[in-house]
């Protein structure tokens, strides 16, 4: 799979079919990107599970933190990793030990680990790297256009303003694909300077 650019139908299929998402590296601090992504996805009806050993005993939007993926008491469809690229392989290794294993490994913006992706794909999992499910959901549903952002989706209907737990249609026609050149350049520049 080419992890430099994803077809919109690939992303759309993932976001339409997953129901439970374990967010590794979730934070209860309301100015952290993981907090915003967690809250947004929970409000769109996903069953969110915060995973962070440093916050066990706390809750995020009423969902108690767990220390590890092994502590989750139900099947997980997707693991959204909010960790540095160097910490991704251990998360993938832990995910592959789950029974049943997740369907998707998703690495957040700036996170990419090709060896971990290859290992997950060899086990039959779908992989997305250097993308944010919150942004992709907003783009594919055209919800992001409410904020004045060009979602690159075409429709004669404006996306509805979602209510709590409402899933929006992600089946709008896209043009130009789901490439995010700015985030790709930032990730590449970060890798080259380290």
The CATH classification of domain 8-193, taken from the options 3.40.50.720, 3.40.50.1580, 3.20.20.100, 3.40.50.1110: 3.40.50.720
* Closest to 130 measured CA to CA, from 153, 152, 151, 114: 114
Query: Span 1-12, mean pLDDT?
Result: 92
What is the overall mean pLDDT for the chain? Answer: 85
Least confident of 28-37, 38-47, 103-112, 172-181: 172-181
pLDDT at residue 10 in the model: 96
* Model confidence band, residue 134 (pLDDT cutoffs 50, 70, 90): very high
Is pLDDT of 189 > 70?
no
Is pLDDT of 151 > 50?
no
DSSP 8-state secondary structure symbol assigned to residue 55: G
3-state secondary structure of 174: strand
Query: Span 130-135, mean pLDDT?
Result: 95
Is pLDDT of 34 > 80?
yes
Is pLDDT of 175 > 60?
no
For helices 114-122 and 88-96, what crossing angle results, to 10°? 10
């Amino acid at each position: 799979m080419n992890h430099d650019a994803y077809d919109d139908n690939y992303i759309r299929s993932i976001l339409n079919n997953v129901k439970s998402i374990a967010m590794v590296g979730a934070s209860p601090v309301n100015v952290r990107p993981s907090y915003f992504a967690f809250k947004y996805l929970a409000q769109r009806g996903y069953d969110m599970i915060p995973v962070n050993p440093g916050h066990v005993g706390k809750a995020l939007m009423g969902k108690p933190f767990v220390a590890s993926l092994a502590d989750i008491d139900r099947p997980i469809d997707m693991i959204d990793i909010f960790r540095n690229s160097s910490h991704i392989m251990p998360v993938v290794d832990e995910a592959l030990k789950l029974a049943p294993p997740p369907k998707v490994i998703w690495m957040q913006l700036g996170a990419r680990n090709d060896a971990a992706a290859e290992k997950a794909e060899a086990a039959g999992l779908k992989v997305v790297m250097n993308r944010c499910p919150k942004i992709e959901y907003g783009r594919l549903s055209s919800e992001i256009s409410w904020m004045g952002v060009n979602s690159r989706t075409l429709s004669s209907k404006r996306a509805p303003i979602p209510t709590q737990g409402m899933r929006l249609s992600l089946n709008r026609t896209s043009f130009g694909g789901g490439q995010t050149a700015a985030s790709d350049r930032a990730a590449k520049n970060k890798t080259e300077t380290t």
